[in-house]
């Protein structure tokens, strides 16, 4: 999750820009850079690693005599933290990017989906590229359209781009202007006294100004020290209200949400979009060439073994359905802390997948090492670059959820599930187990997930809050589901016990009659995952059994099944329709919210539950 800061005003801005980047560090990044315009020339500095490396690179430029950055009084500039998506983690791939003459500099967040075709066109016209990134295309496109008006050139470039992104551009001939464009990724304006900021999030400029203006999707904004002009992509002017942000420093870090957990629940559409988009380059193709698995290796996989702990284990359980259904490869699941001690039978025709958001969980790492020693190819799915898991694995698939501060995993879970969906589809496609039009159908559904996750949060939030109010003083929660709904229940129950401390259990609904039914009476809330699936009928019968014991059924259904589910439940929540295998990524959202609101009503610290700490990466 990259970060953008831009400034135009009356003060020297280099340090303001770096201070702004510091406030965006929590999003995670692997390189950073800035460009400053002064005396008719733009100078850039970029560095791999953290902001202290960028600062050191700026200082080095002084020794090299590049006065513009080291000693600058520049009052306009752009800065960026990059999390590698297209192209490796190198200085050349760090932002800002420019055209060959260095006249246009840009910083971009998100992904330009049609970058390959645009790059081919631009190369045919004689453009030369200096990075492997999709972002650099935008600088060249602006240059191609530039006829003296930066806003017009940005508008023309914007019209050619597909994907989800936000970018800001600066041109050497316009020392008092920055132009930004927003398409799905956030961009916000900070209005100061004789100065204006443009950033991907408010904390980047909150120390300098609390006056903000929002930019909506599909809008282009031109800012100067004393001006803000918002237009649509078609060039129509838009009036925009000014808002005053009342957050204190702590709230600012939380993006205005009361807790990190709530902020991270709301970041899930972005996190999933970042994880999937550039790996779906065509309407009917998944690209996971980053795994560096040859066609022979993929064809030779006889079995997949997934090892993980806690929430990551639940992501694996969801992934098992996707891999087995689409790729027809048998998948075994193991809790990593058990796997390592049972002398497992594993060898060279196994692909062993370790799922760990932190990349540092000791049991998962040990299980991965054991499998590798026995000859298996080990793939790590992780959120943290440079973590131990990335060093111990043969292949790595990164989720791109950004740093998760709340101890309870939320956005890392949905990103892991999204990553395994990609893997399942890629394996199916590579082994020829799935028809091209089915791949296209599923890719369209995958691409719609970020929007549907956002809709799920919006549609269920208030309703879940009311449900939490009726049950937060309960002594026990039971979660029941079958098939693809079972991992959702396991995850819902884990979240509930982890942050609300209310004992909670999850069961395969068919197991109810074998004992757990004894737990039920009229005081027990029973959460049933009854989303679209091949076993929905059976789940409905289980719900009837529960109600016959007087317990309250809280059902999670799929939109369109309101009548059927509503009749069988005391309270019901509905998530958008999608392919049944993809339903868990939506169904889990109300369960995250239910645990969250229950804990809040009990006045508990959801970000730091007792006895628990987030695993952090040791450098």
Interface residue with ligand F6R, options 361, 415, 456, 533 (CB under 6 A): 361
Which residues on adjacent β-strands are paired with residue 38?
A: 41
Q: Which of 431, 429, 355, 359 is nearest to 391 (CA)?
A: 359
409: contact with ligand F6R by CB under 6 A: yes
> Which residue carries 């733009």 as its tokens?
42
Report, in Å, the least distance between residue 57 CB and ligand F6R.
Answer: 32
Residue whose CB is less far from ligand F6R, 222 or 387: 387
Residue whose CB is less far from ligand F6R, 376 or 409: 409
592: contact with ligand F6R by CB under 6 A: no
Report, in Å, the least distance between residue 400 CB and ligand F6R.
Answer: 15
Q: How far is CA 309 from CA 177, 271, 365, 406, 468, in A?
A: 50, 21, 10, 17, 27
What whole-number distance in Å separates Cα of residue 388 and Cα of residue 365? 8
8 A C-beta contact, residue 485 and residue 530: yes
What whole-number distance in Å separates Cα of residue 313 and Cα of residue 318? 9
Report, in Å, the least distance between residue 259 CB and ligand F6R.
Answer: 14
What whole-number distance in Å separates Cα of residue 384 and Cα of residue 616? 9
- Taking residues 328 to 357 in sequence order and writing x for each that binds ligand F6R by CB under 6 A, - otherwise, the string is ----------------------------xx
Report, in Å, the least distance between residue 40 CB and ligand F6R.
Answer: 50
Phi and psi, residue 17, nearest 5°: -65, -45
Residue whose CB is less far from ligand F6R, 161 or 408: 408
Residue whose CB is less far from ligand F6R, 270 or 498: 498
- Taking residues 58 to 87 in sequence order and writing x for each that binds ligand F6R by CB under 6 A, - otherwise, the string is ------------------------------
Interface residue with ligand F6R, options 85, 429, 500, 615 (CB under 6 A): 615
415: contact with ligand F6R by CB under 6 A: no
Q: Which of 54, 43, 129, 57 is nearest to 86 (CA)?
A: 129
Q: Which two tokens stand for residue 136?
A: 């650099």
The catalytically annotated residue of 2, 13, 489, 528 is 2
Residue whose CB is less far from ligand F6R, 72 or 357: 357
End-to-end Cα separation, the chain, in angstroms: 20
Residue whose CB is less far from ligand F6R, 214 or 337: 337
Residue whose CB is less far from ligand F6R, 211 or 617: 617
Q: How many CB atoms lie within 10 A of CB 390?
A: 16
> Using CB under 6 A, which residues numbered 550 to 579 contact ligand F6R?
none
Q: Which two tokens stand for residue 264?
A: 């991270």
Residue whose CB is less far from ligand F6R, 518 or 613: 613
Stretches 141-149, 358-366, 505-513, 546-554: which one binds ligand F6R (CB under 6 A)? Answer: 358-366
- Taking residues 492 to 511 in sequence order and writing x for each that binds ligand F6R by CB under 6 A, - otherwise, the string is --x---x-------------
Query: Is 185 one of the catalytic residues?
Result: no
> Which residue carries 């406030």 as its tokens?
23
Task: Look at strands 237-238 and 227-232 and give their pairing.
Answer: antiparallel
Residue whose CB is less far from ligand F6R, 356 or 531: 356
Q: Which of 526, 29, 498 is nearest to 309 (CA)?
A: 498
Which residues on adjacent β-strands are paired with residue 575?
A: 558
Report, in Å, the least distance between residue 360 CB and ligand F6R.
Answer: 6
Query: Is 513 one of the catalytic residues?
Result: no
8 A C-beta contact, residue 155 and residue 233: yes
- CA dihedral (147, 38, 203, 233) in degrees, to 10, reads 0
Q: Which residue is nearest to ligand F6R (CB)?
A: 310
Q: What is the 3-state secondary structure (H, E, C) of 332-369?
A: EEEEHHHHCCCCCCCCCCEEEEEECCCCCCHHHHHHHH
115 backbone φψ class: left, alpha, beta (φ>0; ψ -120 to 50): alpha
Report, in Å, the least distance between residue 319 CB and ligand F6R.
Answer: 14
408: contact with ligand F6R by CB under 6 A: yes
The tally of CA atoms less than 13 A away on the side-chain side of residue 113 is 17
> Using CB under 6 A, which residues numbered 301 to 320 contact ligand F6R?
309-312
Interface residue with ligand F6R, options 31, 200, 364, 414 (CB under 6 A): 364
Alpha helices in 406-475 (DSSP H): 411-430, 436-471
The 3-state DSSP class for residue 79 equals: strand
Report, in Å, the least distance between residue 306 CB and ligand F6R.
Answer: 12
- Taking residues 457 to 496 in sequence order and writing x for each that binds ligand F6R by CB under 6 A, - otherwise, the string is -------------------------------------x--
- Taking residues 4 to 43 in sequence order and writing x for each that binds ligand F6R by CB under 6 A, - otherwise, the string is ----------------------------------------
Structural element, H or E, at residue 23: helix 14-23
Report, in Å, the least distance between residue 277 CB and ligand F6R.
Answer: 23
Active site residues: 2, 614
Binding site residues, ligand F6R, CB under 6 A: 309-312, 356-358, 361, 364, 408-409, 494, 498, 615
């Amino acid at each position: 999750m990259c970060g953008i800061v831009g400034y135009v005003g009356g003060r020297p801005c280099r340090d303001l820009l770096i201070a702004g980047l510091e406030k965006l560090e929590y999003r995670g990044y692997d390189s950073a850079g800035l460009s400053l315009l002064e005396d008719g020339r733009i100078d850039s500095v970029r560095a791999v690693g953290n902001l202290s490396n960028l600062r050191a690179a700026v200082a080095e430029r002084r020794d090299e005599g590049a006065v513009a950055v080291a000693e600058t009084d520049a009052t306009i500039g752009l800065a960026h933290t990059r999390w590698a998506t297209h192209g490796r983690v190198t200085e050349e791939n760090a932002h800002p990017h420019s055209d060959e003459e260095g006249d246009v500099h840009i910083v971009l967040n998100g992904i330009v989906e049609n970058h390959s075709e645009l790059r081919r066109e631009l190369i045919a016209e004689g453009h030369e590229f200096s990075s492997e990134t999709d972002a650099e295309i935008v600088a060249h496109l602006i240059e191609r359209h530039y006829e003296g008006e930066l806003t017009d050139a940005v508008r023309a470039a914007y019209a050619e781009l597909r994907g989800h992104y936000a970018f800001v551009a600066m041109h050497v001939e316009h020392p008092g202007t920055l132009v930004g464009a927003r398409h799905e990724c956030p961009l916000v304006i900070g209005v100061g006294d004789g100065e204006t900021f443009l950033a991907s999030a408010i904390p980047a400029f909150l120390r300098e100004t609390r006056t903000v203006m929002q930019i909506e999707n599909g809008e282009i904004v031109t800012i100067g020290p004393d001006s803000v002009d918002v237009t649509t992509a078609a060039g129509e002017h838009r009036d925009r209200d000014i808002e005053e942000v009342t957050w204190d420093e702590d709230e600012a870090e939380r993006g205005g949400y009361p807790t990190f957990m709530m902020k991270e629940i709301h970041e899930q559409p972005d996190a999933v979009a970042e994880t999937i988009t550039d790996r779906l380059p065509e309407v009917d193709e998944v690209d996971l060439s980053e795994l560096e698995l040859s066609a022979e290796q993929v064809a030779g996989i006889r079995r997949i073994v997934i090892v993980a702990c806690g929430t990551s284990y639940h992501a694996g359980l969801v992934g098992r359905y996707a891999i087995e259904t689409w790729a027809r490869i048998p998948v075994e699941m193991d809790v990593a802390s058990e796997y390592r001690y049972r002398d497992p039978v594993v060898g060279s025709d196994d692909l062993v997948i370790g799922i760990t958001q932190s990349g540092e969980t000791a049991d998962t790492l040990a299980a991965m090492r054991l499998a590798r020693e026995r000859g298996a190819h080990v793939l790590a799915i992780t959120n943290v670059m440079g973590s131990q898991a990335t060093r111990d694995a043969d292949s790595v698939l990164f989720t791109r959820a950004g740093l998760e501060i709340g101890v309870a995993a939320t956005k890392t879970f949905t990103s892991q599930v999204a990553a395994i969906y990609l893997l399942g589809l890629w394996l199916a496609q590579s082994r020829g187990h799935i028809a091209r039009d089915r791949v296209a159908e599923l890719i369209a559904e995958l691409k719609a997930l970020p929007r549907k996750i956002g809709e799920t949060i919006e549609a269920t939030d208030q309703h879940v809050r009311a449900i939490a109010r009726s049950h937060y003083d309960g002594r026990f929660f039971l979660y029941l589901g079958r098939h693809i709904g079972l991992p959702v229940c396991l995850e819902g129950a884990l979240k509930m016990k982890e942050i609300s401390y209310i004992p909670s259990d999850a069961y395969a609904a068919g197991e109810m009659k074998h004992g757990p039914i004894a737990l039920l009476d009229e005081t027990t809330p029973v959460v049933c995952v009854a989303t679209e699936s091949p076993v929905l009928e059976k789940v409905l019968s289980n719900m009837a059994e529960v109600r016959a014991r007087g317990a309250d059924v809280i059902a999670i259904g799929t939109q369109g099944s309101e009548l059927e589910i509503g009749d069988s439940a005391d309270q019901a929540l509905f998530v958008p329709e999608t392919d049944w295998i993809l339903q868990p990524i939506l169904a889990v959202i109300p369960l995250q919210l239910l645990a969250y609101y229950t804990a809040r009503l009990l006045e508990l610290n959801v970000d730091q539950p007792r006895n628990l700490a987030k695993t952090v990466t040791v450098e």
